[in-house]
Chains A and B, each alone.
Chain A
Amino acid sequence: MNRRGVNVTAGVAVVGVMVAAPLVLSGYQIVFVLLTLLYIGMAYSWNLISGYTGYLSFGHVAFFGIGAYTVGVLVATHGWPWPVAVLTGGVLAAALAVPLGWIMLRLRGPYFAIGMLAVAEGTRLLASVWRGVTRGGLGIFVTTTYNVVPVYYSLLGLVVVVMTLTYWVDNSRFGLRLLSIREDEDAAEVLGIDTTRRKLTAFVMSAAFPGMIGGLYAWYIGYIDPGSVFALSFSLNMVLMTLLGGAGTFLGPLIGGASFAVVLESLWARFPAYHLMVTGVAIMAIVLFIPNGIVAVLRRFGLISRRRQFASRVVRRSQRRTDEGPAPTTEKSDVAAG
Chain B
Amino acid sequence: MSPPVDALLSVQGAVKSFGGVRAVDGCTFDVAKGSTTGLIGPNGSGKTTTFNLITGLERPEEGEIYFEGQPLVGKRPHQITRSGLGRTFQTTRVFPDMTVVENMMVAAPEDNFDDSADRAIELLALVGLIELREEFGGNLSYGQNKLVEIARVHMRPHRMVMLDEPFAGVNRTLAEQLVDYIEKMHARGVTYLIIDHEMKLVMRLCQRILVLDQGKLLVEGLPEVVQNDPAVLSAYFGQE
Q: Which residues of A contact B (CB under 8 A)?
A: 173, 176-177, 179-180, 182-184, 186-196, 307-308, 310-311, 313-315, 317-318, 321-322, 327-332, 334-338
Contact = CB atoms under 8 A, between A and B. Distances in A.
A321 B118 CA distance: 9
Contacts of A183: 95-98
Interface string B57-69: 1000000000000
A314 B81 contact: no
A191 B56 CA distance: 12
Contacts of A180: 95, 98, 106
Given A173-B106, A194-B78, A311-B101, A332 B131 contact: yes
Nearest to B108: A173
B51 to A, nearest CB: 10
Interface in B107-151: 107-110, 113-114, 117-118, 120-121, 124-134, 141-144, 146-147
B78 A338 contact: no
B86 to A, nearest CB: 8
Among B114, B121, B142, B170, residue most surrounded by chain A Cβ atoms (within 10 Å): B121
Nearest to A193: B78
Among A177, A308, A335, residue most surrounded by chain B Cβ atoms (within 10 Å): A335
A327 B173 CA distance: 20
Contacts, number: 142
A150 to B, nearest CB: 41
A187 to B, nearest CB: 4
Closest 7 A-B residue pairs measured CB to CB? A338-B143, A330-B128, A187-B93, A192-B81, A183-B95, A189-B77, A338-B174
Interface in B154-180: 155-156, 170-171, 173-174, 177
Contact of A335 (B102, B105, B143): B143
A179 B147 contact: no
Contact of A311 (B99, B130, B177): B99
Contacts of B134: 307, 311, 315
A227 B23 CA distance: 52
Given A183-B98, A311-B134, A337 B107 contact: no
A330 B130 CA distance: 9
A184 B152 CA distance: 15
Given A173-B108, A318-B117, A330-B177, 20 more contacts: A183-B98, A189-B78, A191-B155, A311-B105, A314-B101, A314-B117, A314-B120, A315-B101, A315-B133, A318-B133, A322-B130, A330-B128, A332-B128, A332-B131, A335-B174, A338-B141, A338-B142, A338-B144, A338-B146, A338-B173
